[in-house]
Structure 1
Amino acid sequence: MHKISLANKFFLALSLLFLPGPLFAKFDFNANCLKAYQLIFELKLNPARQMVASEKKANPNNAIVPLLENYIDFFYLLTTDSKDDFNRLKGNKGSRLDQIADDDSNSPYYLYAQAEINLQWALIRGRFGEQFNAALEIKKANSYLQENAKKFPGFHLNLKGIGLINAVLGSLPDGFMKKTLSTFGIKGNVKTGLAMMQKLAEGLPKSTYEPFYEEAVFYYSFVLVDVAHAENAYAETMKYAARVSDNSLLKSYLKAYVSAKRGHNEEAIGVLAERPSGGQYQAFPYLDYLMGIARLNKLDFSAAAYFNKFLQSNKGVSYVKDSYLHLGWIELISGDIKGYQAYAEKVKGMGYAINERDKQALNEVASGSPNVGLLKARLLFDGGYYSKSLEILGGIKEGDLSLVKDRTEYHYRLGRNNDELGKWDAALEHYQQAVNYGKSLKAYFAANSALCMGKIYMKKKAYTQAKASFNTAINMKDHQYENSIESEARDSLRRIN
């Protein structure tokens, strides 16, 4: 099967294919730039830096260079998650845009490159809490891409950014970012965005824009799993990632992340264990964190070594609190209450509360130590071990659970496992019990139960009940994951209507 990683001798011919004529004289995506771009998407960032520096020296006026430099900064910050590096590098944006703005406005890369740089910084700013600046950059990116699509309708790459903006904005819950972008007149549509991105992923291998395939698949997969919460996210990701080179560490990240999120835990572990390594690859501590998650989801306590490795090498702002929480859970399941409490104190005192997982970790320890049986069932469910999770729940008697939160979670876990196993009537019964018990709790179990009920009713084509369930989820306030649950419920209502 043809891979995206092309032999060097074909790069010049390929560049001539999709950059024909004098129109692209100053935006020169030549063989060196194509090779650097490929290295970036394999997460070989240092070799990519060297190639870009060489191109910059040979062709100082090539306006593709600042775009590639921005790609490198984007993936460097994605992998390090470092606030200090973010503050150091974000000043590069202005000079890069200035260089591009002085170049050939008749090239389709003129507006596209400016849009890409703005969009990349918007995505990174969101990780560090700079929401207003991110909104301004999304506004600029959207404006550039819409104009470029009118000027160059045959320039396929416009679909990537426009599709991404549509999907992300269409899923935003009510809040500061959505309100700000609405003020700018920008609204999204998840279905429209997904259709654009799928069209691009499907069509690029058949076009002269094939080198951009991996980037299109990267964004499409994350929108499927994290934005649209699509049931086919795993199947689509594996389908489109198959033709990406196995030399790509980004491919390993993508496959492992989607596998872990969609209950294909053994595959996630296998992909992470076999991921490419070596000095040419960018350090990526998050992958050790992800391995810890996957191993603990099968109650494998070797997970502790991966969480500790992540904590030792990580310089970022995310997943520190969540790592300490998981280390605490290992102690709790092992019967060491004091060990759990010690890690609970670290959850409170270490790391930042920017990422949703870290905010949730704080909420978890504030709620007290979890019921060990329910915790085991939860972890096994997250790993996709639904029958084993039900076995654990079968050994728990509801009457022995004195806390309303635990009774709510008990029915929620029974609902989730039966749901995944296709036992919809049993799932609906337990979800309704969770809603009844937990509608006033800060825990997310009741609200997410209502959301899951709506999804089942949609599958049954019982749209009246589905709408009622989604509205129940929306009307529950002041609970964990409120924004994401409400956003998904509203998007589901739009699909019904």
Structure 2
Amino acid sequence: MLRAVLHPGKERRVFGRSLHDTSLSPVYYTHYSLAVQTVLFQDPVDYDFFLKGEGERMELFVRNATRSTGSSLQLSAMYLQSAMVYLCFGEEIKAGRRILQAFRTFTAIPAAPADPQYLKTKGLFIFLAGNFPRPLISFLPGMSFSPEGHAPYLEEAASMYPECSIFRREIQVLHALCLLADDQPLMAGSLVGSACGAEALPALIRLVSLKKAGKNEEVIRECGYWTIRSDIPWFEYLMGEAWLRKGIEEAGACLDRFLESYRGGHYRKSALLKRAWAALLLGRENEYLHFIGRVKTEGYQVTEADRQAVAEAGYSTGVHRGLLHARLLFDGGYYYEALQVMQHIRPEEITRSGRFALEYTYRMGRILQKLGKDEAALKSFDQTIGMGMEAPWYYPAYAAWQAGQICEKNGYTRRAGEYYRLCLRMKTMEYRSFIRRKARRSLRSLAGQETGNS
């Protein structure tokens, strides 16, 4: 049945054997599978196919929702899956409507702490509400919300299923996505590591986790396996990023293949910016300018990565090749190599631009921090903060947060709090929501420590 509904071939590339589990509700899992497939490929053909049957698939669960907790839980999950699809195609209003429908459906369900699907859904809503604007939280009365509060529910739900169950793997994947959004890549990668096998989706999440953790060599090794065996374009994107961080020429070819095969609008600007960087590192100025021009005209400008790509493509002073090379090496976890590049940058190269000067002191601080030289790192971060309190770029604000992290790690909690509050006062426009979210969370953590010690 599922083979007849899904596009031939693609479902096997995404899910392997899991679609053929006879214990699954065919209608629910068809909806889930189509949603994941549509999000991964972001092909308009898949999107149209998903929309045509969306209402019909949900209707059965809508009719039974008042009589069956199971139907209500599945309907609530289907609403969230549809919201995910709508967001990928720029339909924010439709996505918001589906999210509210999911909230309302879930709040009508009696508490069922022994039901793993109930715990899974509750954990997801706690995570979502912890990251939502406060007015939306009123739709889930009687529950407390924080980004950190979702974990116990998801862990308990997963533990109720056997090790090899598709339901356990689904919960692990959802939990890993929450951890990634919470900037906990090592925990996310560890959670899905055992679930990878022949499944492309957990493998993709693991690779993103490794990338965010700065484990570039592992990304290259594992991504090479998947670029051969999967037609999911994101593996080419991740491989291109990984080669770029290592300064390898193949980065351009991987990103070209991604841009050619990927039909979506999100992350296209980000990919084009990275493609431009690949050209710049090779000294191909005209090619660099070509891709910078495409950043400004192609793709959506919704995700933070795409907004930042537009900002960086518009820098009036351009890009300093040495600082870019050091940044990419740093992101890949090549800290000593990044330090060597920084040491070869002459002072006169960066003093002509306030942005270059801020990037230099910030990047030096980050490298020294990773090399365990906290005192020297703090000095660089303080320089960045002192020069850039009014700057729109992210370097001073993120320097303040990183300085707070160093102080907190070394037991100077009062000073750490001062850095976090300073971070919130800065006027940065780049990565604004991401940085401010981290600062607020750090302040909450400090407050919790003080309460626990009192």
TM-score range, shorter chain: 0.7 to 0.9
Separation in 1, partners of 2:389, 2:48: 42
Question: Could you tell me which residue of structure 2 aligns to residue 188 of structure 1?
Answer: 145
**Paired letter, 1:225:** L
- Could you tell me whether the CA contact under 8 Å between 1:41 and 1:248 is conserved in 2? no
Equivalent residue for 2:131, pick from 166, 171, 174 = 171
Question: Could you tell me which residue of structure 1 aligns to residue 92 of structure 2?
Answer: 131
Question: Could you tell me which residue of structure 1 aligns to residue 304 of structure 2?
Answer: 356
Separation in 1, partners of 2:255, 2:80: 32
Separation in 2, partners of 1:41, 1:189: 35
**Paired letter, 1:127:** C
- Could you tell me whether the CA contact under 8 Å between 2:385 and 2:396 is conserved in 1? yes
- Could you tell me whether the CA contact under 8 Å between 1:450 and 1:473 is conserved in 2? yes
Shift of 1:136: 3.5
Separation in 2, partners of 1:103, 1:444: 50
SS in structure 1 of the partner of residue 226 of structure 2: coil
1:8-49: CA deviation from partner (whole Å, max 9, x where unpaired): xxxxxxxxxxxxxxxxxxxxxxx999xx9xx99975469888
SS in structure 1 of the partner of residue 296 of structure 2: helix
Question: Could you tell me which residue of structure 2 aligns to residue 11 of structure 1?
Answer: none
Query: Structure 1 residues 245, 179: CA separation in 2 closer, same or farther (over 3 Å shift)?
Result: closer
Equivalent residue for 1:371, pick from 304, 308, 320 = 320
Shift of 1:263: 0.4
Percent of pairs identical after alignment? 25
**Paired letter, 1:404:** G
Shift of 1:381: 0.8
Question: Could you tell me which residue of structure 2 aligns to residue 93 of structure 1?
Answer: 54
1:295-335: CA deviation from partner (whole Å, max 9, x where unpaired): 10111111111011111111111222222222221222222
Question: Could you tell me which residue of structure 2 aligns to residue 68 of structure 1?
Answer: 29
Separation in 1, partners of 2:120, 2:347: 49
Matched, 1:467 2:417: yes
Shift of 1:445: 0.9
Equivalent residue for 1:493, pick from 417, 424, 443 = 443
Matched, 1:113 2:74: yes
Shift of 1:293: 0.4
Question: Could you tell me which residue of structure 1 aligns to residue 202 of structure 2?
Answer: 251
**Paired letter, 1:443:** W
Equivalent residue for 2:177, pick from 203, 214, 222 = 222
- Could you tell me whether the CA contact under 8 Å between 1:82 and 1:317 is conserved in 2? no
Question: Could you tell me which residue of structure 2 aligns to residue 390 of structure 1?
Answer: 339
- Could you tell me whether the CA contact under 8 Å between 1:115 and 1:140 is conserved in 2? yes
Question: Could you tell me which residue of structure 2 aligns to residue 404 of structure 1?
Answer: 354
Question: Could you tell me which residue of structure 1 aligns to residue 122 of structure 2?
Answer: 162
Equivalent residue for 2:167, pick from 200, 204, 212 = 212
Query: Structure 1 residues 44, 483: CA separation in 2 closer, same or farther (over 3 Å shift)?
Result: closer
Question: Could you tell me which residue of structure 1 aligns to residue 217 of structure 2?
Answer: 266
Shift of 1:148: 3.7
- Could you tell me whether the CA contact under 8 Å between 1:66 and 1:100 is conserved in 2? no
Separation in 2, partners of 1:179, 1:86: 31
Matched, 1:448 2:398: yes
Matched, 1:342 2:297: no
**Paired letter, 2:116:** H
Shift of 1:123: 2.6
Shift of 1:354: 2.4
**Paired letter, 1:439:** M
Q: TM-score, normalised by structure 1?
A: 0.80
Question: Could you tell me which residue of structure 1 aligns to residue 451 of structure 2?
Answer: none
Shift of 1:91: 5.1
Shift of 1:109: 1.8
Separation in 2, partners of 1:200, 1:104: 21
Query: Structure 1 residues 41, 206: CA separation in 2 closer, same or farther (over 3 Å shift)?
Result: farther
269-278 or 289-298, larger mean C-alpha shift: 269-278
Separation in 1, partners of 2:334, 2:12: 32
SS in structure 1 of the partner of residue 339 of structure 2: helix
Separation in 1, partners of 2:266, 2:130: 25
**Paired letter, 1:285:** P
Separation in 2, partners of 1:43, 1:78: 14
SS in structure 1 of the partner of residue 299 of structure 2: coil
375-384 or 345-354, larger mean C-alpha shift: 345-354
Separation in 2, partners of 1:219, 1:315: 24
Separation in 1, partners of 2:11, 2:202: 9
475-484 or 80-89, larger mean C-alpha shift: 80-89
**Paired letter, 2:225:** E
Computed over aligned residues only, the root mean square deviation of the Cα atoms, in angstroms, reads 3.0
362-371 or 288-297, larger mean C-alpha shift: 362-371
Shift of 1:66: 2.4
Separation in 1, partners of 2:419, 2:154: 30
SS in structure 1 of the partner of residue 246 of structure 2: coil
Shift of 1:63: 9.9
Query: Structure 1 residues 211, 378: CA separation in 2 closer, same or farther (over 3 Å shift)?
Result: same
139-148 or 294-303, larger mean C-alpha shift: 139-148
Shift of 1:155: 0.5
Instruction: List gaps (5 residues or longer) in structure 2.
Output: 448-454
**Paired letter, 2:183:** H
- Could you tell me whether the CA contact under 8 Å between 2:176 and 2:192 is conserved in 1? no
Shift of 1:114: 0.7
**Paired letter, 2:175:** Y
Shift of 1:82: 3.6
Shift of 1:351: 2.3
139-148 or 446-455, larger mean C-alpha shift: 139-148
Query: Structure 1 residues 147, 460: CA separation in 2 closer, same or farther (over 3 Å shift)?
Result: farther
SS in structure 1 of the partner of residue 266 of structure 2: coil
Query: Structure 1 residues 40, 473: CA separation in 2 closer, same or farther (over 3 Å shift)?
Result: farther
SS in structure 2 of the partner of residue 297 of structure 1: helix
- Could you tell me whether the CA contact under 8 Å between 1:41 and 1:214 is conserved in 2? no
Equivalent residue for 2:366, pick from 412, 416, 434 = 416
- Could you tell me whether the CA contact under 8 Å between 1:390 and 1:414 is conserved in 2? yes
Q: How many residues align?
A: 439
- Could you tell me whether the CA contact under 8 Å between 1:43 and 1:250 is conserved in 2? no
1:144-179: CA deviation from partner (whole Å, max 9, x where unpaired): 3454461x321112222222222233234xxxxx15
Separation in 2, partners of 1:241, 1:46: 16
Separation in 1, partners of 2:45, 2:386: 46
